[in-house]
C-alpha cells in the first residue's frame, strides 16, 4: 500500500527516560520532557515503552493497569487522563509510549495511545508481538502477563501516515509493509544485550525498506529494579541516515521530517512500486 505524501514538514520529538518504581515520579518526568519538547517546537511527541513503570517484575503491571476509556477520568484512569491533559495543555500530538490496560484472563495489554492536540483520542495500538528471550543469564517472557494485540494500526498526524508499533515488533517487517507509512513509531525498552546487537540495525532496516521516517523513543539506562536498557533513542530518515540520537539518560531527540526528502528518496529508488509479493 502506497499513500499520498504529506505536504508539510513535521517537527517530532522522541523522549528518552529511565523510568523507575514510582508511577507518580515517572509521570512527572514524562510531563517535564513533553513540555520541553513542545517548547522546542515539536508538533508530535513520543514517549518510550512503559514510561509509567519499570517494575521489579512483569506482574507489577497488573497493579497499575487501567480500564480503557476514550474519555478517561482522573480518579479511574489517571495515566490515560494525564496523557490526554498533556496533549491538550501543550497543543501537541502525543504518542503515550505504552501503558498497561486490562485484558482478558487477568492479563494486561501493552497499549499505545495517541492523543490529538485537542485531547481527542486519535488511536490505540496493542503490541502484537510479545518478547521472549533466554540466554541462560537473562530470561524474559512477556506472554506470562501480557495479552497480544491483533490489529495493525496507523493514523493520520497532520497529513503524515503514521504506523504504530512497539519494541519487539521491530523484528517483524511484514507489520509495517501492510501499513504503508510515511513515519514509523516504535517506542521501546530494549534490553542492553539485544539492543547492543540489533537496535540500530533494526531501526535503519525498517526505515529503508519502507522508505519511511522512523522515530524510536526508548528507555535508556540503569533502572531501580536493576535492569539496564539500551537507550539510543533515535530518529531515522528514509535513506537510513540517523537524524538524531540520544545514547543514554533522560532527554530528547528532535528532528524535522521533510516531505521533499520522502519524495526524493522514493523517486530515486522506487522500490515500493516494484513490489510483487
CA dist., res. 16 & res. 218, Å (int): 5
d(CA 227, CA 208): 31
Cell representation of residue 41: 517546537
Which amino acids are annotated catalytic?
49, 127, 167
Give dist(CA 213, CA 162) in Å, integer: 9
d(CA 41, CA 18): 23
In the block, which residue shows the cell 513542545? 38
Q: Read out DSSP for 146-176?
A: EEP----EEEEETTEEEEE--GGGGG-THHH
Residue 157, SS3 per DSSP: strand
Amino acid at each position: 500500500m502506497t499513500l499520498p505524501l504529506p505536504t508539510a514538514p513535521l517537527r517530532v520529538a522522541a523522549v528518552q527516560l529511565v523510568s523507575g518504581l514510582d508511577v507518580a515520579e515517572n509521570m512527572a518526568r514524562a510531563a517535564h520532557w513533553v513540555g520541553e519538547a513542545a517548547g522546542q517546537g515539536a508538533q508530535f511527541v513520543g514517549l518510550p515503552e512503559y514510561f509509567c513503570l519499570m517494575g521489579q517484575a512483569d506482574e507489577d503491571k497488573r497493579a497499575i493497569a487501567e480500564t480503557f476509556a476514550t474519555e478517561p477520568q482522573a480518579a479511574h484512569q489517571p495515566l490515560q487522563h494525564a496523557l490526554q491533559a498533556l496533549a491538550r495543555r501543550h497543543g501537541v500530538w502525543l504518542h503515550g509510549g505504552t501503558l498497561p490496560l486490562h485484558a482478558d484472563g487477568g492479563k494486561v495489554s501493552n497499549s499505545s495511545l495517541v492523543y490529538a492536540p485537542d485531547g481527542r483520542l486519535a488511536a490505540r495500538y496493542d503490541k502484537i508481538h510479545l518478547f521472549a528471550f533466554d540466554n541462560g543469564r537473562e530470561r524474559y517472557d512477556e506472554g506470562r502477563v501480557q495479552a497480544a494485540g491483533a490489529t495493525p494500526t496507523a493514523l493520520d498526524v497532520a497529513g503524515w501516515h503514521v504506523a504504530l508499533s512497539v519494541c519487539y515488533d521491530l523484528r517483524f517487517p511484514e507489520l509495517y509493509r501492510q501499513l504503508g507509512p510515511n513515519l514509523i513509531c516504535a517506542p521501546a525498552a530494549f534490553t542492553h544485550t539485544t539492543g547492543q546487537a540489533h537496535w540500530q540495525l533494526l531501526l535503519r532496516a525498517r526505515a529503508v525498506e519502507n522508505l519511511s521516517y522512523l522515530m524510536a523513543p526508548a528507555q535508556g539506562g540503569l533502572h531501580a529494579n536493576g535492569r539496564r536498557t539500551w537507550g539510543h533513542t533515535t530518529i531515522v530518515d528514509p535513506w537510513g541516515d540517523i537524524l538524531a540520537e540520544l545514547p543514554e539518560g533522560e532527554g530528547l531527540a528532535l528532528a524535522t521530517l521533510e516531505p521533499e526528502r520522502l519524495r526524493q528518496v522514493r523517486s530515486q529508488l522506487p522500490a515500493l512500486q516494484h513490489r510483487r509479493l
